[in-house]
Chains A and B, each alone.
Chain A
């Protein structure tokens, strides 16, 4: 199984400041079709998870452009250019290249300082 490792696990951020979350996979997430199936998922307190980004860097509709994803192979990053109060929650990376199983990172808790 592919192990997804996120860091940091806790990220206190000042409002308006940038934030960055790292996700590393135990093997390359490049699929045989050439795509890299890495999602970023947000879970706000008390809410269901919600996908923000798919295939490393593609934002879902309605996702603010302050969120961006990047990376390749085994190393990926989610960046928030200017953290807002509504961004508080837990962020997960998830791979869909080598399945089953689909695997998630441990989650990174973003909170306001």
Chain B
């Protein structure tokens, strides 16, 4: 069955870095664009970044542009989010997801990983 297994969250001081991972299985990872979406405690969903299926294009939310980098390794079926210069307002649960908009049965979400930015 489809799985997106996330890792890499934790507590980090402001200004430091953290890398999140999302390991995919059960579907053809290399055929899907992949997104990161975050959710601050008690708040709604906020789109963070997307990477094309082949890594050729990447887009970011203004709130993370220049600080976060999305990447993927299709040989390892793994998505990454490198987060630098972290701020308190980056504290959130981060989800990897396919976010399909047009086809049935291909919208998958990870279990989420909590990132807490605090001194």
Residues in chain A within 8 A of chain B (CB atoms): 35, 37, 39, 41, 43, 48-51, 54-55, 58, 60-61, 90, 92, 94, 96, 99-107
Partner of A101, one of B59, B97, B109: B59
Q: A48 touching B104 by the CB < 8 A rule?
A: no
- Across the interface, name the chain B residue whose C-beta is closest to A48: B109
Residues of A within 8 A of B110 (CB): 48
B76-106 near A? 1/0 per residue, CB < 8 Å: 0000000000000000000101011111110
Partner of B95, one of A49, A58, A60, A105: A49
CA distance A61 to B105 in the complex (A): 6
Residues in chain B within 8 A of chain A (CB atoms): 35, 37, 44-47, 50, 59-62, 95, 97, 99-105, 107, 109-112
Partner of B101, one of A37, A50, A61, A100: A37
Tally of A-B residue pairs with Cβ under 8 A?
A: 67
- Across the interface, name the chain B residue whose C-beta is closest to A9: B44
Query: Is chain A's interface secondary structure helix, strand, loop, or mixed overall?
Result: loop
Q: B107 touching A60 by the CB < 8 A rule?
A: yes
With known contacts A48-B111, A99-B59, A101-B61, A58–B104 Cβ distance under 8 A: yes
Residues of B within 8 A of A61 (CB): 104-105
Residues of B within 8 A of A102 (CB): 35, 47, 50, 99
A56 to chain B, nearest CB (A): 11
Partner of A39, one of B62, B101, B109: B101
A-B pairs with lowest CB-CB distance, top 10? A96-B101, A100-B59, A51-B107, A37-B101, A102-B47, A107-B44, A48-B109, A104-B45, A101-B47, A106-B44
- Across the interface, name the chain A residue whose C-beta is closest to B112: A48
Residues of B within 8 A of A107 (CB): 44-45
B55 to chain A, nearest CB (A): 16
Residues of B within 8 A of A90 (CB): 44
With known contacts A101-B59, A102-B35, A54–B101 Cβ distance under 8 A: yes
CA distance A39 to B100 in the complex (A): 9
CB pairs A–B below 8 angstroms (14 shown): A43-B45, A48-B109, A48-B111, A49-B45, A50-B109, A51-B107, A54-B102, A94-B45, A100-B50, A100-B61, A101-B47, A101-B59, A101-B61, A102-B99
